[in-house]
Structure 1
Amino acid sequence: MTGIPKPPEGMPSEGQNNAATRWDTLQENPAGIKEEVQEDPETPAEVTLEPSEPEMYHGPLEKAPLLALGDDLADARIFFSDAVDIAKYAISNGPEAPEEGQPVLLIFGGVCVPVYENSDPEKLEAAWARVMRGHCDQQIKVPDPYSEHPVMAETYPLVIKTLDDIPEKVLAAEAREDEARRNDEDDYDIQRADIIINRQEKYEGLKEKLWDVEIRLAGAAAAQLPPNIYGDRDNPIQAEPFTSEFEARGVMYSSYTFLLAKLMQDHLNNNETATVADIAGEALRILDIRVNTSDPLFNAVTGYLLPDSAWGWDHGQELLGWYNEVRERQSGYRSPLPPEAQ
């Protein structure tokens, strides 16, 4: 796990100077993410991919234990590398650890990923990313952990091969297909896959650009945080490796809360006429967070910044006014109290 701020216990109180960051540089592809596929120069001809239905897997993986009872860890904004670490920890320490040499099944981004104790994280992530983009060789039925009825089994694309097992010409053909799909604005699946696959790199890029932006937090939980949240660049605050989905979810929600506050604060610093209501929606869009009061992540990252909350951003009252407008617009709810009393 890289550079994710730890919950506030034990954090040093060391300030940093603010540095302005251009708002428009943070909106599109902040990490400079691009995908490159090296084609084998000795490959004699291009391959044309034919649509095919993935085979249904039948074998020992059907009996492997599910990590976090099958919860999709991508929904909690946990990075894939951290999810693999949690899975490996569960193999050795979990209450339902598999037999020696057997994996646990990680559900991530709607894909089933068998994680072994000796799995190579980088190779596993590359294989998972390929399946995320729709290049699936097999699928697997995973029983609902809350039901013994076979009808309740969920079918997932299955990561069954590493890229080492796939010919270069096939990988090159898949990359061409991916690029063609990206040019189709209506192809939601490839857009969603790219967002999840590139999430950690985008997060780290934004964090680096906003490192020196200071935010003022009045909440009790923020008492030991430095003004820039992350500490000194040469000695940044680091969280311990995650050991559970619950722990990782809490840290990641806080991490995105800080990033949201920094995005908004940076724009306020550079535009005297801007208001929180002007920029909140755009800041959330940059973070790929839906402005939707039924989304737990949206409610968490905004709620943590409101007055009297755990972190209590000093612009929290303005954010509360914007949040109430969103809630009224989406649910039809209207508070009987005047704005100053809400």
Structure 2
Amino acid sequence: MTQRSSPVEPGEAVPWFTSSTPSRERFTFDTVAGRYIALSFLGSATDPTAARVLTDLLARRERFDDVRASFFGVSVDPRDREQQRIRDMLPGIRFFWDFDRAICNLYGVHQPSGAIRQMTYLLDPRLRVITVLPIQTGGEGHVDALLALLQAQEPIPPAVPARAQAPVLVVPRIFEPTLCQSLIDYYDRHGGTDSGYMIEQDGKTVEVVKHDHKRRRDCALEDEALIRSCMHRITARLVPEIHKAFQFNVTRMERYLVACYDAEERGHFRPHRDNTTKGTAHRRFAVSLFLNSGEYEGGQLRFPEFGQSLYSAPKGGAVVFSCSLLHEATAVTAGRRYMFLPFLYDEEGRRIREENQQFLESPDEQ
């Protein structure tokens, strides 16, 4: 049985499980994705703190409707079922029986002493952690705090007919705002150099700089602490989403690069693909991670093969797409657009990259 010693961190996807509820023998938790989820570890309904949370919850139960949000309480006390102390109240409120504490172990709330850390996870529609809210002794104010956090989230969009779109993945909250700002500050301190693009020339993969095709300045990270921070968040928060969406096992990341598209230079990158030379053939997925969304105008992604739709992400969020897709970064018309721009690949890609080193004029060209 998997056991965590601490709660799942914000930005990470939570473990999936199947358990019983008062109204269903088998409830598969991952099927509730698509709405906000409050998963509350209460311990026992007889505990005064848990009892206060339940009382306040029932007084505000209209906030959980199975459309925008659902509440799941977790009980480890068999007497709650035997004496029917708690029950599912549909829509919106359900409870898991966790008498063997399997769910508690998965979520890092089972302490060595045997006690349960009373807390509530607030999860986004992809079942990723928004925050972990401890339940203070006595439980007073916990439901109010939870509902305030829920109210602050983006609304669930209404059902509409689907339109044709590019096969891209948009994932919010990969980098925290503080990390985004640290990367921007690093760029501003060190400055960027003119960024080119790769072409085949005389049997070699070489970089060329042509401002009519691409105007961007890049700064390679050399700060080990920043590099580790970026690697950890990509690995823990983004890689699992790529595997879920595309069934692809990312094992490698190429370049730690902060880029700036400046409106004073009409920063842009005309339509291109990212893996068309021998020196770039190993690349599988491109990541455009937005560091300062909302602070500039223009600078969106477009995939011409799939129409004229424009793609972006909130600050700290990423747009992920296959390197073989034709894409462009439209011109920035006001302000500066800062980006973190790695490529991701796997062990087969590593083999291809090693084989193709002979076609590079310099190993630093990519």
- Length-normalised TM-score, structure 2: 0.28
- Over alpha carbons, which structure has the higher Rg? 2
| TM-score, length-scaled by structure 1 | 0.29
Bigger strand share = 2
Of structures 1 and 2, the one with the larger relative CO (CA 8 A, separation 6+) is 1
Q: Which has the higher helix share?
A: 1
